[in-house]
């Protein structure tokens, strides 16, 4: 949004670098409107978390690209045809634009039509062609090394009486993995369609959205663009992360802690409350 307001770049605007930025949405966010977000679900329940998420206007822009934008830019985004839209009806296979008012009946009652409309306007603005002088100063860094990142999904109609706490599953499901991503952002979403090809950088090592900004490969890509005197960093960490290696609790440990917290089974003396592993694991789950 800022870039579209800059117009002719001022002298102070030398460069903007994005790293694994979901310019056209993520694969995982739609699920949150239906089944919430673990490990918060273990504390508050799926429906309550989904209701809270549905009340937040900003994250609605994290869903897959709208149909209007895709129809204009599918070639620039790296798709082979206009029929490769990344969100399809689970029965007919037809395009299922998550922002289309015709699909409002597919959303739970706690989702906001106003937020959807506003998010679509924001998303379409972000995707607009950029002035050449602005685009030349943007660098996009992405990873497509995670072959299990869903790059296409299906969306089913909302069943009557939908209740995630009653066992109802999300109506969105993975349907394709072509092209890969970083575990959260599909590769096609992390490069702006109007950024010059020379300014689109591909990772050869960093493969996890959660750790991209700590990976030495990414630091060494961005560093020289920010500071001509930048000295490359190295690490002995097997995951390629810069700084002290940080252990994280497993997803199972985090869920168990969250469930205990939600049930009042974490007294002030519970060592997990002060365990760095637990909180690093908690943050990892929230970033998925």
Output the pLDDT for position 29: 96
Cα separation, 218 vs 200, in Å, equals 13
Task: DSSP letter for 146, please.
Answer: B
d(CA 170, CA 271) in angstroms, rounded, equals: 35
Give me the residues paired with residue 190 across strands: none
pLDDT, residue 3, reads 82
pLDDT reading at 244 higher than 90: no
Q: Please state, in angstroms and rounded to a whole number, the distance separating the CA atoms of residues 121 and 4.
A: 13
Residues 6+ apart with CB under 8 A from 169: 34, 35
% of the chain with per-residue pLDDT over 90: 86
Strands 172-176 and 152-155: antiparallel
Mean pLDDT within 220-230? 96
Looking at residue 12, what is its pLDDT? 82
Residue 139: its pLDDT value, please?
Answer: 98
pLDDT score for 247: 81
pLDDT at 224 over 90: yes
Question: Chain-wide mean pLDDT for the chain?
Answer: 94
Any idea what DSSP says for residue 43? Answer: H
Q: Where are the domains of the chain?
A: 2-236, 246-288
Residue 259: per-residue pLDDT: 93
What would the mean pLDDT of 239-256 be, rounded to a whole number?
Answer: 87
CB 25 within 8 A of CB 189: yes
What average pLDDT does the segment 16-29 reach?
Answer: 96
pLDDT of 243 reads 82
Rounded distance, CA 190 to CA 244, Å?
28
> Band of the pLDDT at 167, cuts 50, 70, 90?
very high
- Number of Cβ within 10 Å of residue 171's Cβ equals 21
The yes-or-no verdict on residue 5 having pLDDT over 90 is no
> What local confidence, expressed as pLDDT, does residue 131 receive?
87
CA distance 25 to 172: 15
Distance CA 224, CA 208 (A): 22
CA distances from 237 to 163, 216, 249, 272 (A): 43, 10, 17, 25
Residue 174 has pLDDT above 80, yes or no: yes
In the predicted model, is pLDDT for residue 205 greater than 80? yes
**What DSSP character marks residue 215?**
B
- Answer whether residue 6 shows pLDDT above 80: no
| pLDDT over 90 (residue 284) | no
Whether 244 contacts 280, CB under 8 Å: no
Task: Using DSSP, state whether 87 is helix, strand or coil.
Answer: strand
For 180, phi and psi rounded to 5 degrees? Answer: 70, -175
Predicted local distance difference test score (pLDDT) of residue 202: 98
pLDDT digits (tens, 9 = 90+) for 64-99: 999 999 999 999 999 999 999 999 999 999 999 999
**Mean pLDDT calculated for residue range 119-147:** 95
Task: Kindly state the DSSP code that residue 246 receives in the 8-state scheme.
Answer: -
């Amino acid at each position: 949004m800022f870039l579209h307001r800059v117009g002719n770049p001022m002298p102070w605007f030398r460069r903007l670098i994005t790293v694994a930025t979901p310019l056209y949405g993520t694969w995982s966010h739609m699920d949150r409107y239906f089944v919430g977000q673990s490990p918060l679900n273990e504390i508050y329940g799926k429906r309550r978390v989904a209701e809270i998420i549905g009340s937040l206007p900003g994250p609605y822009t994290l869903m897959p690209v709208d149909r209007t934008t895709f129809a204009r830019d599918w070639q620039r985004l790296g798709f082979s045809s206009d029929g490769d839209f990344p969100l399809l009806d689970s029965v007919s296979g037809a395009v299922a634009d998550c922002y289309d008012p015709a699909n409002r009946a597919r959303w739970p009652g706690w989702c906001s039509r106003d937020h959807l409309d506003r998010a679509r306007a924001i998303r379409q603005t972000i995707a607009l062609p950029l002035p050449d002088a602005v685009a030349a100063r943007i660098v996009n860094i992405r990873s497509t090394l995670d072959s299990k990142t869903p790059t296409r999904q299906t969306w089913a109609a909302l069943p009557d009486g939908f209740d995630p706490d009653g066992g109802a599953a999300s109506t969105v499901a993975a349907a394709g993995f072509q092209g890969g991503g970083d575990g959260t952002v599909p590769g096609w979403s992390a490069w702006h369609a109007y950024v010059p090809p020379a300014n689109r950088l591909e990772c050869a090592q960093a493969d996890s959205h959660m750790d991209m900004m700590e990976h030495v490969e990414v630091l060494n890509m961005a560093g020289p663009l920010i500071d001509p005197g930048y000295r490359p960093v190295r690490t002995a960490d097997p995951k390629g992360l810069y700084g002290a290696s940080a252990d994280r609790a497993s997803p199972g440990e985090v869920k168990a802690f969250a469930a205990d917290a939600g049930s009042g089974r974490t007294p002030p003396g519970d060592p997990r409350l002060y365990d760095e592993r637990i909180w690093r694991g908690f943050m990892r789950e929230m970033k998925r």
